[in-house]
Amino acid sequence: MNLIDVTIILLICAIPALYLFSLLIDKRDSLIIFGINIKNFLNLSEQKNELQKQQGELLMAKEIKKVKSTTLLSLKKQFEQERTFENEKYNKAIKIFITTILLVLGILITLLLIFGSVYTIQAGHRGVVLTFGKPSPVATSEGFHFKIPIAQKVVKMDVRTQKYEATLTAASADLQDVSTIVAINYHLSPASAVSIYQNIGIDYADKYIYPLEHESNKASTAQFTAIELVTKREDVREMMKRQLTERLLTKGIIVEEVSIIDFKFSPSFSQAIEAKVTAEQLALQAKNKLEQTKYEAEQRIAQAKGEADAIKIQAQAINAQGGKDYVALQAISKWNGVLPQYSMGGVVPFIDITAK
């Protein structure tokens, strides 16, 4: 194909193109509007598609939300059921615990009421029943008794023999300081148990007995000298006992016995007393020895006199029996038949030295 042929072909093709180009130029505004419409159409299509897509996504989201909501509701319902079950289980446990506590408390209260309504008084005691603090007029005796729980209380008073011992100081009649240990055996009058508790209290020994004991000791000690306290100990004890018995009996306390356990003086006075007692003991010992010597001498004199009288009586008896012949007869009767030996080996014959 040569250049002419190519040119012809291009012209043939260009004529319609030019015609169309001219038409397009004439219809330019129309085409622009058409293009714009097409573009708008295409945009609307895209918007529609986008809207449909969004609607689809929205529907899908709604479905998902619906599914999620259903799942959440199911889960929530299940959780609420489990929580309800746990709450019921917890409430049941709490109910059982509270019931158990109430039951135990009820049993304890019942036992307290039962045991709190009875009491026993041991032998040698009396019970003072207090109703809201007010003592009963009469004390309860030994044995088993009832009382009102909470409202009444029982105070037990010992009415057996008791001992109260105290160290007391006082001055003697000669102004010597004396420390005395005094013990009192006493017991409470059973009929006065309520009165003692109401007027003095359970510490009656310290409140009432001790002051009276101290006063009685001072009054009694002042009546005697320091030496007389030792030598007349029994008189001092009796005076103290008499005073304490009279004073304590007015309160329902019965004194059984008062004992002076010990007297203690100042060291110098104790040494003086010891020296005096030692001197008196030595003098008494010497006196006793002198009396013993006199007695032994009198005894020896009496013995010698008795021996002399015996010899005299024996001589009188011998003379009465024949004198020498009687003595020879007594010697023969007591001889064993053996002659006495002398230094040369021979025997000593009987020789009558009275022979003429």
pLDDT in tens, the chain (356 residues): 454 554 555 555 555 555 555 555 555 555 555 556 555 655 666 666 676 676 666 777 666 666 666 666 776 677 777 777 777 777 788 888 888 888 888 888 777 777 778 889 999 999 999 999 899 999 999 999 988 888 889 999 999 999 999 999 998 888 888 999 999 999 999 999 999 999 999 999 999 999 999 999 999 999 998 888 888 999 999 999 999 999 999 999 999 999 999 988 888 777 777 777 777 777 777 787 777 777 777 877 777 777 677 666 666 666 665 555 555 656 666 666 666 655 555 555 554 545 44
Closest CA to 257 of 247, 276, 267, 244: 244
Strands 162-171 and 118-121 turn out to be: unpaired
The separation between CA 282 and the C-alpha centre of its own chain, rounded to angstroms, equals 56
Indicate the residue type of 237. R
CA-based nearest residue to 186, from 256, 90, 81:
256
Give residue 186's Cα distance to chain centre.
Answer: 26
Give domain status of residue 115, yes or no.
no
pLDDT at 6: 46
The whole-angstrom separation of Cα 195 and Cα 138 is 9
Which residue reads 């009415």 in tokens?
A: 159
Has residue 257 been placed in a domain?
Answer: yes
The pLDDT score that the predictor gives to residue 213 is: 93
Q: Domain containing 241 — which CATH number?
A: 3.30.479.30
What pLDDT, on a 0 to 100 scale, did the predictor assign at position 298?
Answer: 80
Task: Give the DSSP H or E segment for 169.
Answer: strand 162-171
**272: burial class by Cβ within 10 Å (0-12, 13-18, 19+)?**
middle
Residue whose C-alpha is closest to residue 263's, from 235, 239, 227:
227
Residue 341's φ and ψ, nearest 5 degrees, are -90, 150
The rounded Cα 79 to chain-centroid distance in angstroms is 60
Q: How far is CA 96 from the centre of its chain?
A: 40
Q: Determine the residue type at 34.
A: F
* Neighbouring-strand partners of residue 180: 168, 263
User: What separation in angstroms does the CA of 124 have from each of 25, 160, 201, 209?
Assistant: 147, 5, 18, 20
On whether residue 200 sits in a domain, the answer given is: yes
The pLDDT, as a whole number, for residue 28 is 54
Residue 166 lies in a domain: yes
State the Cα–Cα distance between residues 6 and 286, nearest whole angstrom: 196
Report the number of distinct structural domains present in the chain. Answer: 1
Assigned domain for 213 exists: yes
pTM for the predicted model, two decimal places: 0.51
Q: What end-to-end distance do the CA atoms of the chain give, in Å?
A: 247
pLDDT at 120: 92
| Residue 170 domain boundaries | 161-265
Domain contains 196: yes
Looking at residue 139, its pLDDT comes to: 92
The pLDDT of residue 355:
45
Torsion of CA 303, 308, 310, 311, to 10 degrees: 140
- DSSP characters for 112-148? HHHHHTEEEE-TTEEEEEEETTEEPSS-B-SEEEE--
Q: Which amino acid is at 268?
A: S
**Given phi > 0 = left and psi -120 to 50 = alpha, else beta, which region is 337?**
left
Q: What three-state secondary structure class fits 28?
A: helix
DSSP 252: T
Residue 254 lies in a domain: yes
Query: Which two structure tokens, joined as six digits, stand for 234?
Result: 């029994």
Q: Which among 169, 143, 170 has a CA at the least distance from the CA of 154?
A: 143
pLDDT digits (tens, 9 = 90+) for 271-312: 777 777 777 777 777 787 777 777 777 877 777 777 677 666
- State the helix-helix crossing angle for 28-116 and 3-26, rounded to 10 degrees: 70
129 within some domain: no
Structural tokens at position 30: 């129309």
